[in-house]
Amino acid sequence: GDSVTQMEGPVTLSEEAFLTINCTYTATGYPSLFWYVQYPGEGLQLLLKATKADDKGSNKGFEATYRKETTSFHLEKGSVQVSDSAVYFCALRTNAGKSTFGDGTTLTVKP
């Protein structure tokens, strides 16, 4: 079945550091790929998405490129801020129904 594997956390960085959170997937067909973010006390929010190979999703300084050859969708940001502290979830969807999520990576950014 479909699965998503995320880099284990927690991840702690200093402000303005470079961020990478790894995500790899296994899926049948041609999935769409997503990164969601969950800030403390809030619900899941879509951060960015990519719907086909080589697409790059971007939002709020975050980027991820759909790599079909390595089945990966790593999340990156060049300079993190304290306000980026949250839990980040990688997810895929192969049809118009269910999404399959990774277990989440907790990011803490210290000033």
Applying CB under 8 A, the residues found at the interface with other proteins are 4, 32, 36, 42-46, 49, 51, 89, 91, 93, 95-104
User: Which 8-state DSSP code applies to residue 67?
Assistant: B
User: For residues 32 and 84, which CB has a smaller minimum distance to other proteins in the complex?
Assistant: 32
User: For residues 17 and 101, which CB has a smaller minimum distance to other proteins in the complex?
Assistant: 101
Are the C-beta atoms of 94 and 28 separated by less than 8 Å? yes
Q: How many whole angstroms separate alpha carbon 111 and alpha carbon 101? A: 30
User: For residues 47 and 109, which CB has a smaller minimum distance to other proteins in the complex?
Assistant: 47
C-beta of 100: minimal distance to other proteins in Å?
7
- For the beta carbon of residue 35, count every other beta carbon within 10 angstroms: 25
C-beta of 98: minimal distance to other proteins in Å?
4
Q: How far apart are the first and last CA of the chain?
A: 41
